[in-house]
Every structure is written in structure tokens, then in C-alpha cells.
Structure 1
Amino acid sequence: MLELKNIQFAVHESNDSKEIIRHIDITVPDRSFTVITGPNGGGKSTLAKLVMGLEKPTGGQILFDGEDITNVSISERAKRKIGYAFQQPPRFKGLTIRKLLSLAHGSELSECMSCQYLSDVGLCAHDYLDREMDASLSGGEVKRIEIATLLARDLKLAIFDEPEAGIDLWSFAKLVDTFQNLRKYNMSILLISHQERIMQMADEIIVVEQGMVTKQGSREEILPQLLHEFDTICDKCL
């Protein structure tokens, strides 16, 4: 469904050019759960932004359902049912969560459907529908509500950029449960994360370091390698 072919991305600093993404090839199948992981500064978030169209590659092609979308705008990608969840979701004072879900859906949602989406992200619908999307909500609540808006859009591909960033352990546990629930939706998930509990849910894990794919394979193949490398690093630090 999603295919990245020889993707490159560079930024210009003064008179120099710095490569952020270097000749990356990735395929994300239909209805799969793919986690991209790797050290900070390796290019993971940039890769997610390239897929959504927030950044434009300096080389290569992005194909979605066989169509070249490399130069397609963010709004056009959204129409093709690609969605993106930010590390820090925006808040909208004066806008109720009920209205936000309807806006995401594109038409007025029934209370039953609104409740379903909120329930699937672990929120008691009747406690939230008429609340405003403002500073009274915790970081974890805002992130789960943002996921509910993606569900309301009936996406083909949902992109999550480190959804665990900036939330407490309780909220993280709820977030893990939320991603488990997303399995029943007919969409592919591309998720940037460092967290072992999230990687344990993946069909495939891709490791990106210094702008390149260094490992790629099934969870059963890649996760034990990563855990072994981590244990080795910890042993050396003792």
C-alpha cells in the first residue's frame, strides 16, 4: 500500500548540505502495524513527515496504492485517507470533543458513533463528549482524543510520531491499550516509537539510524536483536 523508493532528504545550512534521510526503501503492507525505531536524531520523525507531506523529499518516490504521491499536497494526501498524529496535539478552546469528532468525520456524527470512537481509545464517552478540547485535559487525554479523530476519518494509513512522548506511565499504559484496540480497524499503522511495549504489538519493525535503514523484519526477528543490543550496552556501562 505504502512504498518508499530510494527516499532522500537533505537540508541546506549556510553553504553546506546535510543529509537527513539517505536512500531509504520501505514497504508498508495493507492493514499492517509497522513500528519505526532507532536512536534520537536518526531521521525517524523526518521520515514520518515525508510520508504525510509535511516535508518534501529531495530524491526518490513515495507511492500510495500504486499512485506516485511524492509531490501531492498534505490536503490531497488527507483526501486519500492518510492521517498524521503529532507528538503534541493542538488544543482548541471553545470546540467540544463532540464537534471535533464530527469535523474529522466530515459530517455530523451520531452520539452512538462518537461514543464508539471514544470508547475505543479508552475514554468514557459521556464524560468527554461535551468537554472542550482545552487546557483542562491532560496530555494523555489529548493524545487519545486525537487518535479518536483519526478513527472518525476512516483512514487507510495512520501515522503516529512518538505518541508516548511527554505523558506519564498511567497514560502510557492506557495508550498501549488504545493501540491494541486499533487492530480491529481496517487501516495500516506506521508508528515511530522507542518503547518495547509498543514494539511488541508490531507486525514489522524498522530500525533507522543516521538516516538509513539498518534493520528491517518481523517483530519476532528484530525485537530480540534490539533487546540483546540494549543489554550489551547496559553491561558495558556497569
Structure 2
Amino acid sequence: MASSSRFGGILPIVAIVFGSALLGFAGGWAWQATGAGRGATETIVRDYILDHPEILPEAMQRLQQREMQARLAPLRGAIENPYPGAVLGNPNGKIVLVEFSDYACPYCRLSVPEVEALIAANKDLKVVVREEAVISPDSDDAARMALAAADQGRYAAFHKAMFAKDQVVPATIDAAASEAGLDLAKAKADIASGKYEVEIQNNQRIAEAIGFTGTPSWVIGNEALSGAQSRDALAAAIARASAGK
């Protein structure tokens, strides 16, 4: 379920506030520095903003990026450390792409070939998939089976088989598990034990702490992206993360 930016609707208001704050700051600085000329300084700053209004969205973008970096920093370990085995690509890769995913999400299904292409193009890419069951009760069942598959070393196979199904229902979950080579009896016993509930609930808490409201959602380095992303957009974010290391 793709999510739109929650900042877009308030950008004009924030721009006005930002501009006013900038005027006040500049004027105050001039007053303290020289004791005079406040009005002239405010006029200069005001005229510059009016002549270059494009700086306001850019400034807001910078502010949003800094806020997101501050939000991600204390969660870094929780976000990037996978449930054991719930990884695609290179499990020892130094570049980490995190995807919050739901098997009942059509946009997550559309993202599968994009992620596969990124993995094929970057041998150092580790894709951490966080099972976030948000769409239906069957999403939870599929997420539990995925974690059972991770325990059996069959996560990637189940992930691909499950997303190849047209719908997420008990029959297709069992079919995907069988196709992935799981010991189905053991998987169901593990699921019945309740051992995967903490992981699924934890993924939801992490997503909420980041500010995600749907799937797929992504974390790459200091960036968080919501909704379906093109291969090029993800590749660009991966390149920025790689450059920042």
C-alpha cells in the first residue's frame, strides 16, 4: 500500500513560518551585531526569499532529512538486524536495504522483481525483510510461515513462492511452504508455539516509530522511503548509502 508524504499538504504553511523565522533571525542578528540596521537587513532577506522562493522547499527537505536521520539513529540496530535467516541477497553484505513487507500487499508483490534485480546487480547487497502483517489475518499467517521458513533455512524460497500466489489464504500459504521445501509439520508446530509473535509485533512497533503507515516501506542508510519504489529509485538510494560509508 503506497503512502504519500505527510509533509506535502503543510509545505506552504511551513514555508511561511520558515521565512518569517529567517527574517526574525536575520534581523535579530543584525540588531545585536550592529545595534542598527535591522529593518534594512530584514528587507534584504525578504527580497532574497521573494526572488528565490525555491530555497524554501529545499530548506524543508533538508529539515525533513535531518529529522528522519535523528529518528533512525537510535533504531539502527533494531532495523538492520534481521530475524535469523530472514535475509535476501548476500547475508554478509555491507550494504543493507531493509524492506517492511506484507504478503497480501500487491505493491510488495510488484517490488519482488525490482529487489531481485538490485541483488543481481550488487553482490554486496543484504536485503533484510521485516515481516509486517497489516492487511489481513492471513497476512499474519503468511508472516509466521515465512519466519518458520527462515528457521529452516528456506526463507528466500518461501518468500518467492508466496509472492507468486494470486492470493494469501491458508491453502496458498501451505502450498508455498511445500514448494519451498519446508517440513510443514515442524513449521506448523513452531507457529502454534507462538514463537514468532514477538518478532511480528516488534516489526510493527519499529515501523510506527519510523513513521511508516503502509507497505512496502524501506530503509537505506539514513533514508526512509514509503510505498512502491522503482528499481532506479532504490538503486539511487543504495548508491547514496554506499557513498556515505
Q: TM-score, normalised by structure 2?
A: 0.23
Structure showing greater Rg: 2
What TM-score do the two structures reach when normalised by structure 1?
0.24
More strand by share: 1
Which has the larger share of helix? 2
